[in-house]
Structure 1
C-alpha cells in the first residue's frame, strides 16, 4: 500500500503536529490552515528525506513569504561561498531558499545547502540536466527525457523540498508564441531550454507528456511541485499575451492533476505585468 502524502493525510482527518505549529505562527486556526491546503490555496514544502527546523506555509491567508536565490555559476563554483549566502539569507529572515546552481560540483553544492539549511530548499532540476547534456553530449538540446527525470529524481532524493518544473511549455503554447511574436521573447531560462529542445527534436515536452511519472516522484518524496512560468512576460508589452495565457491554461489543468494525485503544487508568476492584471494572472 502506498504511503499517504500530506494532502491525503489531511483529507483523512489526520494532521501532523507541525501543521498546528505553523497555524500558530500564521495566527490561523489549524482547521482553517488545513482547509486552505485542501483547497490548494496553501502549500507546506517538506521533503520526507529530511527534517526542516523552520518549515513554512505559503499561500492565501498566510504572511508574505520571501525566497532567497543562491547558486553557483560557471565562474564561481565554491561551496563555502554558497553556504555563506545561505547563512546571510537565514539571518536576513528569508523563508525559503533556492539553489539555482549551474557550475561546479552541482550535486555536492546542492547536498551541502540542503544539509545546512533550516529553511525549505527549492531547485530547478532542468538546469542540471542541461549542464550535464552540454558537458557530456555537446548540446543542451541533445538531453533526453531520461536525463531530465534523472535530474528530478536526484534532486528529490537529496532532500529538496520543492522543485520548479516547466511543464506548461508545450508544442501548443509555442505555436501561440510563434503566431504572436513578442518584444522580449522567452525570458525564463528553464522555459528557453525546453522550448529549444521541443523545436530541435520536434517532440512534446517530456515533463508534460510524462506528467504522471513526475507526480509519482513527487509523491514518493513529498516534494512540492512549483509549476514554472516558462512563458512569463519579460516586459509590460508582452503581458497577458497569447503565449502566456495558453501556458496558464495548461498549468491550470496540471494543477488539477496534482490535487487529484495528492501532490502539493504552486504556480510561478506572473512576470512583468501591469498592476491591474496581477490578480487576474494569479487567479
Structure 2
C-alpha cells in the first residue's frame, strides 16, 4: 500500500488526513494531488513519524543535513543536531553519515526524533568496501 495507490482508489488514509489538517487543505483535494503525482507523503510503514506532505500547493519544507565522518564520529553529537533541527522547525533530516557504525547511528537518530529521515545508501556501501579493503 502506498499513499498514491490508496489515493488512486479513492481511499483517504490517516496520513492524508493529518497532512490535510496541517496544511489547511481539503483532504479530497490533497488525495487528488497525490493520485496525480503532484504531492507525496514519504513515510515508512515501519516507523512512527509525523506525516509530511511535499509538493504542489503545500508549504515549503525544511530539510536539515547531519552526519558523522571519519574525523568526527560522535553519536551523541548527531542526535543532538537532529533534535535541535527538529526543535527549530526541520520537517526532515538527511543523515549523511560516513563514519563507523551507520546502522546504529541511523537507528538511534530515528528513535530520537519524529520526522522523516533520508540517507544515502551508497555511503554505507562505501564504508563496507573500505572495511573489506582494510582486511585484505
Aligned partners of 2:15 and 2:41 also within 8 Å: no
Aligned partners of 1:78 and 1:104 also within 8 Å: no
SS at match of 1:102: coil
1:77 equivalent in alignment to 2:73: yes
SS at match of 1:68: strand
CA RMSD of aligned residues (A): 1.2
Q: How does 1:161-240 map to 2 (within 5 A)?
A: none
SS at match of 2:11: coil
| CA displacement, residues 2-60 of structure 1 (integer Å, 9 cap, x when unaligned) | xx3222122112111231121121121111111111111111111011111x2210111
Q: What is residue 130 of structure 2 aligned with on the other side?
A: 134
Aligned mates of 1:18, 1:42 — CA distance in 2: 13
Larger Rg: 1
Q: What is residue 116 of structure 2 aligned with on the other side?
A: 120
SS at match of 1:81: helix
| TM-score, scaled relative to structure 1 | 0.46
- Which of 49, 54, 57 is the equivalent residue of 2:53? 57
Aligned mates of 2:82, 2:11 — CA distance in 1: 34
Aligned mates of 2:62, 2:113 — CA distance in 1: 15
Q: What is residue 47 of structure 1 aligned with on the other side?
A: 44
- Which of 92, 95, 101 is the equivalent residue of 1:96? 92
- Which of 7, 13, 27 is the equivalent residue of 1:10? 7
Segments of structure 2 that go 5 or more residues without pairing to the other structure are none
1:35 equivalent in alignment to 2:61: no
Aligned partners of 2:69 and 2:97 also within 8 Å: yes
SS at match of 1:127: helix
SS at match of 1:97: strand
Deviation at 1:120, TM superposition (A): 0.6
Segments of structure 1 that go 5 or more residues without pairing to the other structure are 139-283
SS at match of 1:69: strand
SS at match of 1:77: coil
Aligned mates of 1:11, 1:93 — CA distance in 2: 31
Aligned mates of 1:137, 1:76 — CA distance in 2: 21
TM superposition outliers: structure 1 runs of 4+ over 3 Å: none
Aligned partners of 2:10 and 2:31 also within 8 Å: no
Aligned mates of 2:27, 2:87 — CA distance in 1: 28
Q: What is residue 19 of structure 1 aligned with on the other side?
A: 16
Aligned partners of 2:94 and 2:119 also within 8 Å: yes
| CA displacement, residues 238-263 of structure 1 (integer Å, 9 cap, x when unaligned) | xxxxxxxxxxxxxxxxxxxxxxxxxx
